[in-house]
């Protein structure tokens, strides 16, 4: 069963903490010309230099920066001005879930079309020159063809290269370097040298290489952008599932379509069969089935009846229902999950920070290598145009794109996959720490078990008795009373909510009828001798007839034993720490297959046990949900919490899993290990690419055209390698 998830914005373990301030505001800004790892540091530094800014996190993949600032001292306009001061064009995102990836794709596609068309025409002219250079073609015809190539190339380079030139100019204007500086320098040098050679009447003209270079660069950037959009679009896609309008039921019975942004708690909505639900709320009329795979990751629909919660973005499958709104659109479960997903995409763990630092130092090295190549070739007696061609190839091939993308795309692909499995990542380095885990410690109630008592002897109770008891129980919020009501609904039994019910604290419920008084509560309250050692029970005493016992149990989650078995098979040590009595913990531990368990554990006892495991050299994943688990969740090496957990536990956890199954625990560990492998693979690919191609370019064995293909290919390779995580069949590997 899905519960409303109220996610705290307090940073969890491993995340940076903001400056405490009553006016602290968080705003997302789109940064148009942030293209490489070298852009991250100046963007963040510019914002952190503003008095009143508490934190700034740049996201290269989404080209966004999240700023947390004192709203009494800083305005969004000041943030935009600060970014413009270091060469970046920025704008506030009114809705962080709505991106401009489509517009960027269309712009790059147009420029690619111009570059490709120009390259093909210049290539035709070049082939004619090459084939006739040693034959009968006159020098004047060759020169004419070169000038025709120049007429095609110059405007094509100016238009197709504008994104690179604009970004490079902005960086140089504020005295810094980014990846577009060497690219722009390489293209401009190749084009300028070709124009100069054409004016001299030389045969060494490279218009075809310059334009084709831009075409390949644009292809690489377009494909890379599309793959990154695919990887990072989980939050945006989630918000895209919201309805724009909803059918509001008015007092006169009419239905009026209004914007979901105008919905207020207390309004009543009508959701037709097959329609997405527009807002979080409580069902007030009708029974149906709800597809909640969007939120829980579970494919089986949930049966709902009056009084049960439903959530925006889920789909009503069977019958029309009437819903009372309980939360505004901006406060819905869907919006909160999307905000958490976006925050996970913004965060950067250890590997990401290492890649950013390497890319930041790498940009100046590119120009040093290019200049060294030019000087070296000239010193060896080569012609200036040969030396310049080699230097151009070095400038292009040493672009740090692949290194900057090596880890962020893995993190985003992992967060997207986990979300699809009903698990929301909160901490920046949570996955990195989960990959190191060798011990899993579970809490019992609400973690290994479902956390709600279930009626276990329902088959022995007559339908009319269950209906009468449920009618009384519907007046109480006691867990056992709720379990009786739930059992009646699951059995399809219709009952009316009893009126004039009196609830006696610690005893039970009663009401007077024409036939006499009926009661639901403890054995003593119902006049029945108590049974020693049996606590999980209620008694129903009708107005006439014998009392009937209702027995309850907190059952294991359906897949708990299977999950524990998979963890053990993979070499993980599994323990159970519970604050419950030993008599209640022992059978649960036995059913789950956990031999190492402890009962009656206070919060301090759980922390002490985690410290013992740490002293033994073990790295522990704590899985818990109660208030008493929050300290242990914070103390563990890594932590998970179910969505039904207390807010403080969700705040302390590195990730939150939804639904009634424990399988997300295994999924989180498997994805963490796979993410670690992919991150290291991407580092190896990026570094290996440079080790192989940079010496070849400096030796003159790589032309500018081949350099463009290699550079674009390396960026696409690391991104595609990360994207595999989304569909890869993962098994929890043995430690």
Residues marked active site are found at: 443
CA dist 351 and 679 (Å) reads 8
Task: Outline where DSSP puts E strands in 578-671.
Answer: 597-598, 620-623, 638-642, 655-657
Q: 42's torsion region: left (phi>0), alpha (psi -120 to 50) or beta?
A: alpha
Helices assigned H by DSSP within 49-138: 76-85, 101-132
CA dist 735 and 729 (Å) reads 18
Cα-to-chain-centroid distance, residue 522: 47
3-state secondary structure of 55: strand
Interstrand relation of 597-598 and 548-553 (parallel, antiparallel or unpaired): unpaired
CA dist 518 and 531 (Å) reads 21
CA dist 671 and 640 (Å) reads 14
Residue 674 CB partners (closer than 8 Å, separation 6+): 414, 725, 728, 730
3-state secondary structure of 622: strand
Spatial contact of 5 and 656, defined as CB atoms under 8 Å apart: yes
DSSP H or E segment with residue 355: helix 350-379
DSSP H or E segment with residue 575: strand 573-577
* Buried-state track 1-31, b at ≥16 Cβ within 10 A, e below 16: ebeebebeeebbbbbeebeeeeebebbbbbb
CA dist 189 and 187 (Å) reads 6
Centre a 10 Å sphere on the Cβ of residue 252 and count the other Cβ atoms it contains.
5
Task: Outline where DSSP puts E strands in 486-572.
Answer: 502-504, 508-513, 516-521, 537-541, 548-553
Beta bridge partners of 256: 248
CA–CA–CA angle 232, 652, 25 (5° rounding): 60
Centre a 10 Å sphere on the Cβ of residue 240 and count the other Cβ atoms it contains.
12
Residue 370 CB partners (closer than 8 Å, separation 6+): 182, 185, 391, 392, 394, 395, 398
CA dist 171 and 360 (Å) reads 13
Which residue in 340, 337, 332 sits closest to 310, CA to CA? 332
Alpha-carbon separation of residue 35 from 43, 185, 239, 398 (angstroms): 11, 16, 25, 15
3-state secondary structure of 425: strand
Cα-to-chain-centroid distance, residue 95: 17
CA dist 648 and 200 (Å) reads 75
Burial class (CB in 10 A: 0-12, 13-18, 19+), 102: exposed
């Amino acid at each position: 069963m899905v519960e409303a998830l109220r996610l705290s914005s307090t940073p969890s373990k491993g995340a940076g903490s903001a400056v405490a301030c009553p006016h602290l505001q968080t705003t997302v800004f789109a940064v148009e010309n942030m293209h490489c790892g070298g852009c991250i540091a100046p963007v963040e530094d510019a914002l952190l230099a503003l008095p009143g800014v508490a934190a700034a996190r740049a996201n290269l993949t989404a080209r966004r920066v999240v700023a947390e600032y004192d709203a009494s001292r800083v305005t969004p306009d000041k943030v935009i001005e600060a970014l413009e001061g270091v060469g970046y064009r920025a704008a506030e995102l009114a809705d962080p879930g709505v991106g401009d990836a489509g517009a960027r794709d269309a712009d790059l596609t147009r420029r690619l079309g111009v570059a490709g068309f120009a390259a093909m025409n210049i290539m035709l002219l070049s082939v004619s020159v090459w084939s006739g250079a040693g034959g009968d073609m006159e020098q004047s015809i060759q020169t004419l063809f070169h000038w025709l190539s120049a007429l095609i190339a110059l405007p094509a380079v100016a238009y197709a290269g504008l994104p690179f030139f604009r970004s490079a100019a902005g960086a140089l204007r504020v005295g810094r370097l980014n990846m577009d500086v060497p690219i722009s320098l390489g293209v401009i040098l190749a084009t300028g040298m070709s124009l100069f050679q054409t004016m001299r009447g030389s045969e060494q003209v490279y218009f075809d290489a310059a334009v084709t270079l831009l075409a390949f660069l644009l292809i690489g950037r377009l494909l890379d952008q599309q793959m990154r959009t695919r990887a990072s679009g989980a939050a945006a896609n989630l918000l895209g599932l919201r309805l724009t309008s909803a059918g509001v039921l008015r007092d006169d019975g009419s239905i009026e379509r209004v914007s979901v942004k105008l919905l207020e708690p207390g309004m009543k909505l009508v959701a037709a069969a097959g329609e997405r639900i527009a807002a979080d709320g409580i069902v007030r009329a009708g029974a149906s089935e709800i597809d909640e795979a969007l939120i829980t990751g579970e494919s089986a629909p949930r049966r709902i009846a009056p009084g049960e919660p439903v959530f925006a973005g889920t789909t009503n499958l069977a019958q029309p229902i009437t819903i009372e709104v309980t939360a505004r659109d901006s406060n819905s479960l869907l919006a909160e999950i999307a905000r958490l997903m976006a925050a996970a995409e913004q965060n950067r763990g250890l590997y990401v920070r290492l890649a950013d630092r390497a890319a930041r130092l790498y940009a100046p090295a590119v120009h040093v290598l290019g200049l060294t190549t030019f000087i070296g070739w000239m010193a060896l007696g080569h012609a200036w145009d040969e030396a310049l061609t080699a230097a151009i190839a070095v400038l292009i091939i040493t672009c740090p794109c692949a290194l900057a993308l090596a880890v962020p795309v893995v993190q985003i692909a992992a967060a997207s996959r986990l979300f699809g499995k009903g698990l929301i990542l909160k901490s920046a380095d949570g996955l990195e720490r989960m990959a190191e885990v060798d011990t899993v410690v579970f809490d019992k109630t609400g973690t290994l078990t479902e956390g709600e008592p279930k009626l276990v002897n329902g088959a022995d109770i007559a339908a009319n008795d269950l209906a009468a008891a449920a009618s009384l129980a519907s007046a109480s919020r006691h867990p056992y009373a709720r379990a009786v009501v739930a059992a009646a609904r699951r059995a399809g039994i219709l009952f009316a909510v009893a009126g004039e019910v009196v609830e006696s604290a610690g005893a039970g419920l009663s009401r007077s009828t024409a036939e006499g008084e009926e009661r639901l509560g403890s054995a003593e309250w119902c006049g029945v001798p108590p049974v020693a050692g049996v606590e999980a029970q209620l008694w129903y005493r009708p107005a006439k007839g014998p009392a009937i016992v209702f027995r309850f149990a907190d059952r294991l989650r359906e897949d708990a034993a299977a999950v524990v078995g998979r963890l053990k098979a993979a070499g993980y040590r599994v323990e159970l720490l519970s604050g419950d009595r030993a008599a209640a913990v022992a059978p649960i531990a036995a059913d789950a297959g956990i031999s190492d368990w402890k009962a009656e554990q206070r919060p301090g006892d759980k922390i002490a046990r985690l410290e013992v495991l740490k002293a033994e050299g073990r790295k522990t994943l704590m899985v818990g949900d109660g208030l008493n688990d929050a300290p242990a969740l914070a103390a563990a090496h890594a932590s998970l919490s179910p969505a039904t957990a207390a807010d403080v536990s969700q705040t302390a956890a590195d990730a939150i899993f939804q639904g009634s199954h424990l399988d997300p625990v295994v999924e989180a560990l498997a994805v963490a290990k796979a993410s670690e492998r992919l991150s290291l693979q991407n580092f190896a690919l990026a570094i290996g690419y440079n080790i192989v191609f940079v010496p070849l370019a400096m030796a003159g064995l790589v032309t500018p055209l081949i350099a463009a293909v290699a550079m674009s290919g390396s960026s696409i390779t690391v991104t595609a390698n990360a994207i595999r995580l989304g569909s890869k069949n993962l098994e929890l590997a043995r430690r």
